[in-house]
Amino acid sequence: MNWYGCWTLYSRESRRFLNVKMQTIVAPALTAIMYLIVFRYAMGDREVPGLEVAYFDFLIPGLVMMAMMQNAFANTSSSIMVGKLMNMQIFLMMAPLTAFEVTLAFLAAAVTRALIVAVVLLLVLAPFTNISIEHLWMIMFYGITGSIIMGGMGMIGGMWSKTFDDMALLNNFIIMPLTFLSGVFYSVKQLPEAWQTANHFNPFFYLIDGFRHGFLNVGDTDPSQAIIVVSIATLSTVLACWYLWRAGWRLKD
């Protein structure tokens, strides 16, 4: 295991987003705050039907998790896309790093960015809510696994895309719909039964619901049972990233 080389790549990927903090950290925080302001005045002091929890408290974990997922995806996808367009990725493939080490470094940097964004959001929003931490292990588990899954999808998307239009297609027609339909802004129990059943095939639903359960101790599903689904999705994503990078899939075009 080339730990030094892996750490070097991780440091490069981390510094890359830390050097543009206004875009990668401050901007997501401002976007989440705008969502909260709009929904706060639109929904008032209403409670979420069936969960008996204030809508404002219900919304915060969902927005934090959504920001984590989007930033983890953006970190890996943008890095690989820019590397491909500048013909720099070939040098990384020639470096004395195995596919596992490259995958580990990219995903670790994606998780780091997601966690920083989450901490910033929670610190900014803490004065405006009475939300508490009920199950820290759930918050950490679903937050980290969700970041790994989205970072992995960003890696795969970056390898697949040939232009930024391809990346926008993937983000706008797959990632964003799955995210918004996973219960960020509403309880899935409010949907018709057919849509509730369909949502159980959406892995993002389990991530957001489990993350919210860690704060509020309420949710639309049993987070303990969802651990199996999330663990399988995480392992599958990591293995796919490792295999595709090892094969140089679409990186040599």
Quote the pLDDT of residue 253.
66
Query: Which CB contacts under 8 angstroms, 24+ apart, belong to 27-32?
Result: 28/67, 28/70, 28/71, 28/117, 28/121, 29/67, 29/117, 29/120, 29/121, 29/124, 31/67, 32/63, 32/64, 32/67, 32/121, 32/125
pLDDT 10s digits, 229-249: 899 999 999 999 999 999 988
Residue 140 corresponds to which tokens in the numbers above?
Answer: 């950490």
Dihedral of CA atoms 172, 174, 179, 183 in degrees, nearest 10, equals: 120
Domain segments of the chain as ranges: 3-247
Question: Which pLDDT value is given to residue 13?
Answer: 93
**Which pLDDT does position 230 carry in this prediction?**
93
**CB within 8 A of 55, min separation 6: which ones?**
39, 43, 46, 47, 48
Low-confidence ranges of the chain (pLDDT < 70): 44, 253
Token pair of 53 as six digits: 């929890």
